[in-house]
Amino acid sequence: MTSLLPALTGSFSTPAAGNPTGAMVEAAYVHHGIDARYLNCDVAPDDLPAAVAGARAMGWIGFNCSLPHKVAVIEEIDGLARSAELIGAVNCVVRTDQGWLGENTDGQGFLSSLRTVADPAAQRVLILGAGGAARAIAVELALAGADRIWIANRSVGKAEEIATLVDSADGGTTAYALAWDGVLTPPDDATIVVNGTSLGLPGSGPVPVSFEGVAPGLVVCDVIPNPPDTDLLQRARAAGATTLDGRGMLLDQAAINIRLWTGVDPDRTVMGRALDIAIAGWEH
Ligand code: NDP
């Protein structure tokens, strides 16, 4: 139940029309009786400073930043949590006594989802792609004690950057960059494969990776949340792998945001139902 003066949260991105996060977050607010609202705002790059200043002036308790603001928002806030500092990008801003604190919950959401099928500690992980999602996932895996990470990308320079970043996280993880040219087969000793590319979205081509002869017990994950059962996951399951879709990552990062803003650890089932309704009408 909201009062006449609810706490305010929301999201700044553009385009923003297809963002289903508000549906999940508001369902959790209602379910837990949290007196807050979540506003999905379309904010152009030049307007980001004014949007953040507006949120500050109106006393918002926090907000999400999605594309294209995840790096630019750092200039507008007062500090960074450790993983956001390492990743160099922020997707969740939290009001604290010290001012606006930038967090990166994309990788944390992935890890929380991964833990439903595997403990990240001591794993040997092949990450496909070297964009923002792959970078956040690599850093969180390193902070969680993964043993080895390979980052494969068609532009190998970006993979090398992430490998250097993982080394600087100083968690004992060894990182290697791989040039991804043609069909890639996961290294024999990989225990987890993560698709962190945008391939798998409707209309994009298949992910050029082969699961033929992979070891039993391999876990294959995708970041694509809609449709969740991607061609990559279907092929991995047919080869005997355990699979994890990107819907869980999206849901868990939203749940972590709510906990950071309100202190309440929300019910994932309630949020999942709202997400499924929202993405049923999601346009690509
Ligand atoms: P970026 O644009 O930062 O990175 C895209 C990555 O995909 C790059 O590594 C790029 O390679 C690679 N790629 C794109 N097209 C191709 C291709 N044809 N062949 C090979 N590689 C390709 O995007 P993000 O990292 O921000 O997002 C990636 C995906 O993750 C998106 O689909 C997004 O929706 C999803 N995502 C899901 C979240 C969730 O909660 N489930 C959260 C955040 C993101 P190159 O560098 O060579 O261009």
State the distance from the centre of ligand 1 to the C-alpha of 213, rounded, in angstroms. Answer: 26
State the distance from the centre of ligand 1 to the C-alpha of 131, rounded, in angstroms. Answer: 5
Kindly indicate the confidence band of residue 164, based on its pLDDT and cuts at 50, 70 and 90. Answer: very high
Radius of gyration of the chain (CA): 19
pLDDT of residue 170 exceeding 90: no
Most ligand 1 atoms within 8 A of CB, residue of 156, 198, 199, 247 to mutate: 198
Residues in contact with ligand 1 by the CB-under-6-Å rule are: 106, 109, 129-134, 153-155, 158, 197-199, 201, 223-225, 246, 249-250, 253
Contact 101, 114 (CB under 8 A): no
The candidate with the shortest Cα–Cα distance to 194, out of 280, 131, 268, is: 131
pLDDT of residue 118 exceeding 90: yes
pLDDT of residue 156 exceeding 70: yes
State the distance from the centre of ligand 1 to the C-alpha of 98, rounded, in angstroms. Answer: 33
Residue nearest (by alpha carbon) to ligand 1 atom 13: 197
How confident is the model over 227-263, as pLDDT tens digits? 889 999 999 999 999 999 999 999 999 999 999 999 9
The candidate with the shortest Cα–Cα distance to 136, out of 77, 204, 66, 208, is: 66
Most ligand 1 atoms within 8 A of CB, residue of 137, 197, 232, 283 to mutate: 197
Contact 257, 265 (CB under 8 A): no
pLDDT of residue 282 exceeding 80: no
Kindly indicate the confidence band of residue 171, based on its pLDDT and cuts at 50, 70 and 90. Answer: confident
pLDDT of residue 214 exceeding 90: no
> What is the spatial distance between Cα 141 and Cα 135, in angstroms, rounded to a whole number?
10
pLDDT of residue 215 exceeding 90: no
Residue nearest (by alpha carbon) to ligand 1 atom 40: 250
- Residues serving a catalytic function are 70
